[in-house]
Structures are given as C-alpha cells and as structure tokens.
Structure 1
Amino acid sequence: MNALPESLLPLAFPELRTERLLLRRFQPSDLENVFRGLSHPDVINYYGVNYTSLEDTQTQLDWFWENERRQTGIWWAVCSADNQLFYGAGGLSSISLAHKKAEIGFWLLPEYWGQGIMPEAMPLIFGYAFGPLGLHRIEGLVETENEICKKAVRKLHFTHEGTMVDCEIKNGRYISLDIFAKLNDAR
C-alpha cells in the first residue's frame, strides 16, 4: 500500500469538524470504503469515475494525494466525529490560486443519503476555500439530468450560470453539464 505523501499546501492538512462530523485526510485504510462508494451503481450514476476492484480504486486515493501534493486539489474523507463511520468524500479539484477558484465535488454512501451530512460538511469546505486558500469562486459542474445534486447545490446557495450542451460523452452518449457557482461574499 502506498505511503501518504507530504503536503505542500500552505498549511498543514486541515482537519475540519462539526459536532457530528470529522473531515480528515484520506488514509490508506480508507481504500475499501472508497471502493464501496465508487463501485456502487447509485453513487457512480452521475459521478465521473468508478472502479471494479480494490486495486483499481487505489488510483483514486493516489489521485487525492497527488492533487494535494501538486496543490491542484484537496479532498477530505467525511466521517462521524469519532472517526468510526465513513460517510463519503468532499473536496476541491482544479484549484487555481492564480484565478482564485476551484471546482467542488462530493459523494456519499447511499445509506447516509438524506441525513443532512453534505449540507453540514460543505460549509466547512467553503470556509477553508474562502479563508486560508483565499479563493473567490467555487464552481460545480452537474450533469443536467442529476436533479438531486442540482437541488443540493441550490440549497448551498450556488447560482445556476448556464448549461454546456452535449459537452461530454458518457457511456457512448453526449451529456450536458449545468454550471453552478458560489462566490466569496466576504470580499
């Protein structure tokens, strides 16, 4: 199993907390939970990656750590406050410090859907993005057919900016992506 890389982020890897949640750095021991999520048909239906084996899933953990090392992304394992339950993942990809923006992403294991976990976790990530990282804009690209995710980002006060029609191919057909954005209100 791969060792954790050293972080090159401006600060030590931030552990974020609420009364019931812990957002922490991914560990090698998270491999099976990431596989459970990113192989589950309900999770991957609108997600950009999926895996069919633990070995293949290791590439996802490596991707989390490599993006952190290169300062192009930061992803957290979303867990119970006591770190006993793994709920899913949330984070920032395509970080551009020059343009002060990033893309948000998240997924949860289906047994935790509808329990208010992401609405509780996402403001922690926004606080880190708009605070220590100094970002101004967080973007969310959502498949047009993914009504659940669009509802979630609207609840998080993202603004719908438009639709990129037939901009990607998935499973042999063109899909469209809705563009949502949240700006730092504290400027």
Structure 2
Amino acid sequence: MGRNRGATCSLSTVKALSGLRDGQVLIRRPQERDADTLLAGSHDPLVREFMQGILSHSDRESAVRWITEVAPRLWEADRAAYFAVALAAEGGPAEEGEPEGEPEAEGGPAIGLAELVDLRPEEGAAEISFWLLPEHRRMRTAASAMRLVCRFGFEELGLRRIDAYAAAENMGVQVVGASIGFRRTGFRPALFRSSRTQELRDAVYATLVPEDLC
C-alpha cells in the first residue's frame, strides 16, 4: 500500500484489503460470515450507548443484507468505507504478495467493525469510528484496529486528516486514540444521540494527521 498523499482517491477504485494488518489484527471488507458479529454488536449495550445511528438488526438475515447490499453500495458511492476487524488466522502473518482469498490474508471471523465516514475530498478529511465485541476489548487490539483504518485512510485515500469523536465518558476510546497519535482539539456539548437512550451526549473531538500516526 501507499498512494500519493497529494490528492484523495475514490473508494470505488480500492477493491481489496489483502494483508493490511498490525500484529495479529487485520482489516478487510466485511463478508457474509461476519453477520453474527454485526448482529451481536448492534445489540451490545456499550456500542449502543456510545455510538450514534447504530441500527439494531432484528435477525441474522438483516445483518447479512447490510453486509452484502448496504455497505458495498455506500463504498462504491464514495460515501463510507466499512471494515471487518479480524484476528489473523493461525499460521503466521501473510507474506508480501500473498494471493487474495487465502485464509491467512482474510483472517478469522470478525471481532468488530470499523468505518471511515463523512468523507470530505475537498478537505482531505474523514471521520473514524469502531467497536469490538466485549471479549476482545483490549487496549492493544483496539489500538491495532484503529491504526489500520487510519493507515488505509492516509495511504490508500490520501487523506490529510482523520477526525474522531468520543463520548466524554468513554475514556477507553480516548486513551486508545491518544496512544496512536490522535490529539484532543476540542469539546462539543450535546453533539450526538445515544443509540440506546436517544439522550444527547457531550463529545471529545480529536484529530490525527499522517505524520503523527504511531
């Protein structure tokens, strides 16, 4: 990976994510096999509490439709990039140039989902958010997932800035962001609504530029 950072690239021209990993964590385009993870995450109390606009899928079929129809359509329309966060398959990291579709390249089932949304080509900016299943909410795993999505944004899309918003009470995500180079730049009162309670929540605003990613 590694495109010219001088101009943003269209999502529709980026088809594969083979081999984009950080340690034992990798990101890839969501697949139908990730439907159970999406279904579980859409009902997770913390995900719904601290994220806005989380659709609570009624069943696995609804989650499959989102993965196979909605997410690809938004990707092709350059509106949003969605990623499955997965653990690398046993057997070690993929070698450089490994064919797409090999188990090592795609990893295991998803342990969470991540996204780049609010894409603003004229600014070279986008917004990142992600969530992990409860059993995988560890500092190192979360930092790796966030770092990979930011790498994709900078290296493949040529972004010059990635924004992140976190509920003021969600210190865990704020610490994860700071650990990979996000700098807190502001406080936004009543910025978003909790998907669980619909109550307005204050948010901390942070930004990351390519040279600060660590």
Task: Give the structure-1-normalised TM-score.
Answer: 0.84
Q: How does 1:47-66 map to 2 (within 5 A)?
A: 47-48=51-52, 49-54=54-59, 55-58=61-64, 60-61=66-67, 62-66=69-73
Which of 1 and 2 has higher RCO (CA within 8 Å, sep 6+)?
A: 2
One of 167, 172, 175 as aligned partner of 2:201: 175
Q: How does 1:23-42 map to 2 (within 5 A)?
A: 23-42=27-46
Q: After superposing the two structures, state which structure 1 stretch, 104-113 or 74-83, moved more.
A: 74-83
- Is the 2:187–2:204 Cα contact (8 Å) retained in structure 1? yes
Instruction: Please state whether the residue corresponding to 2:72 is helix, strand or coil.
Output: helix
One of 98, 123, 140 as aligned partner of 2:164: 140
2:83 aligned with 1:76: yes
Instruction: Please state whether the residue corresponding to 1:124 is helix, strand or coil.
Output: helix
Q: Residues 58 and 20 (structure 1 numbering): CA distance in 2 closer, same or farther, change over 3 Å?
A: same
**Number of the residue aligned with 2:121:** 97
- Is the 2:34–2:109 Cα contact (8 Å) retained in structure 1? no
Task: Give the structure-2-normalised TM-score.
Answer: 0.75
2:35 aligned with 1:11: no
One of 118, 135, 140 as aligned partner of 1:116: 140
* Structure 2: runs of 5 or more not aligned: 1-9, 90-106
- Is the 1:72–1:96 Cα contact (8 Å) retained in structure 2? no
Name the one with the larger helix percent. 2
Please tell me the residue identity of whatever aligns with 1:51: S
Determine the C-alpha separation between the residues in 2 that align with 1:179 and 1:22: 26
Determine the C-alpha separation between the residues in 1 that align with 2:42 and 2:63: 8
Q: Residues 116 and 75 (structure 1 numbering): CA distance in 2 closer, same or farther, change over 3 Å?
A: same
Identity of aligned residues (%): 23
1:70-129 Cα offsets, whole Å, 9 max, x none, are 112112111121223421112211112221001011100000111611212222222221
Determine the C-alpha separation between the residues in 2 that align with 1:19 and 1:183: 22
1:127-178 Cα offsets, whole Å, 9 max, x none, are 2211121100000011112111111111121111111112334425332121
- Is the 2:164–2:205 Cα contact (8 Å) retained in structure 1? yes
**Number of the residue aligned with 1:4:** none
Determine the C-alpha separation between the residues in 1 that align with 2:198 and 2:152: 37
Q: Residues 177 and 68 (structure 1 numbering): CA distance in 2 closer, same or farther, change over 3 Å?
A: same
Q: Residues 141 and 59 (structure 1 numbering): CA distance in 2 closer, same or farther, change over 3 Å?
A: farther
Name the one with the larger strand percent. 1
* Structure 1: runs of 5 or more not aligned: 1-6
Determine the C-alpha separation between the residues in 2 that align with 1:24 and 1:84: 11
Aligned-residue RMSD, C-alpha:
2.2
